[in-house]
């Protein structure tokens, strides 16, 4: 049975603070409580009250590679694999093994996940070490399945569709906080994929203006937003994948 997605405010206090960040996949255990009101506010709302979850435990389902604890068995397996002459092909074949073929595409996705080294020249010029991947092909050749698999196995991966996304929704939006009435920045899919991978399906169905909005992110990995007298440069590193298909292109057969 399906259900309607709902939102719930969660309060983390003490040692539970900073145990997770936006975009993380977590399981939170806690106590479901009503939100206390002042006497005047209670008279206005009557018997209807807002609720929140007082967190008691947080479980992170995905961790960064640097935060993972390698066991002895894992270290022995890594030592064995690094001496293998077919290491590149073995790692590529481990990506979506249920999908047959596409060896070259899987190798490109493997390089996307591994990333490179960012260089800063003496003149001050910065050369990014990460790549963007654009997959094009006929419908039904497992482009979306590869996308979802990459977003799943990545320590930090976000999946979204370009048809229902706007440039503001992908980068960030300036909104007014309901409690403080101040202007705040609400991160989009690319911001939530900070230091990770953002997969955008149906990239060709996006509006031209929305594709232009994320051009700076794809080139410099850092968007600059200016709206409502708020100037903010939000820097993040995001490996970016686009998936699209074209019906007007004839793909030559190999071999």
User: What percentage of residues in the chain have a pLDDT greater than 90?
Assistant: 3
Per-residue pLDDT, 120: 81
Domain that holds residue 128: 116-244
In a domain, 98, yes or no: no
Q: Where are the alpha helices (DSSP H) in 26-142?
A: 39-45, 72-82, 87-93, 103-114
| Distance from the Cα of residue 208 to its chain's centroid | 22
* Angstrom distance (rounded) from CA 165 to CA 242: 13
- In this structure, the answer to whether residues 30 and 120 fall within a common structural domain is no
- In this structure, the answer to whether residues 228 and 120 fall within a common structural domain is yes
Report yes or no: 201 and 160 within 8 Å, Cβ to Cβ: yes
* Angstrom distance (rounded) from CA 31 to CA 53: 6
Per-residue pLDDT, 235: 38
For residue 136, count other CB atoms closer than 10 A to its CB: 15
Per-residue pLDDT, 30: 92
Q: What is the pTM of this model?
A: 0.63
Report yes or no: 30 and 49 within 8 Å, Cβ to Cβ: no
Per-residue pLDDT, 254: 47
In a domain, 219, yes or no: yes
Per-residue pLDDT, 56: 92
Q: Give the count of domains, the chain.
A: 2
* Angstrom distance (rounded) from CA 244 to CA 253: 19
CATH number of the domain encompassing residue 195: 3.40.50.300
Per-residue pLDDT, 24: 78
In a domain, 22, yes or no: yes
* Angstrom distance (rounded) from CA 195 to CA 55: 26
Report yes or no: 143 and 106 within 8 Å, Cβ to Cβ: no
Per-residue pLDDT, 227: 42
Task: Extract the tokens encoding 111.
Answer: 């390089």
In a domain, 23, yes or no: yes
Letter string b/e over residues 23-35, b meaning 16 or more CB atoms within 10 A of that residue's CB? bbeeebebeeeee
- In this structure, the answer to whether residues 161 and 234 fall within a common structural domain is yes
Question: Which residue is associated with the tokens 């900073």?
Answer: 18
**pLDDT string in tens for the chain (255-residue length):** 456 667 788 888 888 888 887 777 888 999 998 877 777 777 776 777 778 899 999 988 877 666 667 778 878 888 888 878 888 888 888 888 888 888 888 888 888 888 777 788 888 777 777 778 888 888 888 888 888 888 888 877 888 777 655 555 666 666 676 666 677 766 677 777 777 788 888 777 777 776 776 766 666 665 544 443 333 333 344 445 555 554 444 444 444
């Amino acid at each position: 049975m399906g259900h309607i997605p709902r939102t719930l405010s969660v309060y983390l206090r003490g040692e539970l603070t900073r145990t997770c960040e936006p975009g993380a996949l977590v399981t939170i255990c806690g106590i479901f409580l009503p939100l206390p009101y002042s006497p005047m506010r209670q008279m206005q709302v009557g018997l209807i009250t807002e609720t929140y979850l007082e967190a008691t435990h947080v479980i992170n389902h995905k961790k960064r590679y640097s935060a993972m604890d390698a066991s002895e068995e894992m270290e022995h397996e890594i030592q064995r694999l690094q001496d293998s002459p077919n290491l590149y092909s073995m790692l590529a074949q481990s990506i979506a093994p249920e999908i047959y073929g596409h060896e070259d595409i899987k190798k490109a996705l493997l390089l996307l996940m591994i990333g490179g080294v960012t260089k800063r020249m003496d003149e001050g010029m910065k050369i990014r070490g990460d790549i963007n991947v654009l997959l094009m092909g006929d419908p039904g050749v497992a482009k979306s399945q590869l996308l979802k698999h990459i977003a799943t196995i990545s320590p930090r991966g976000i999946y979204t569709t370009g048809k229902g996304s706007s440039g503001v929704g992908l980068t960030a939006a300036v909104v007014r906080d309901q409690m403080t009435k101040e202007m705040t920045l609400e991160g989009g899919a690319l911001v939530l994929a900070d230091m990770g991978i953002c997969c955008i399906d149906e990239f060709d169905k996006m509006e031209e203006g929305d594709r232009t909005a994320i051009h700076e992110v794809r080139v410099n990995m850092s968007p600059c937003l200016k709206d409502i007298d708020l100037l903010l440069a939000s820097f993040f590193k995001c490996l970016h994948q686009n998936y699209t298909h074209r019906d007007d292109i004839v793909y030559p057969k190999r071999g």
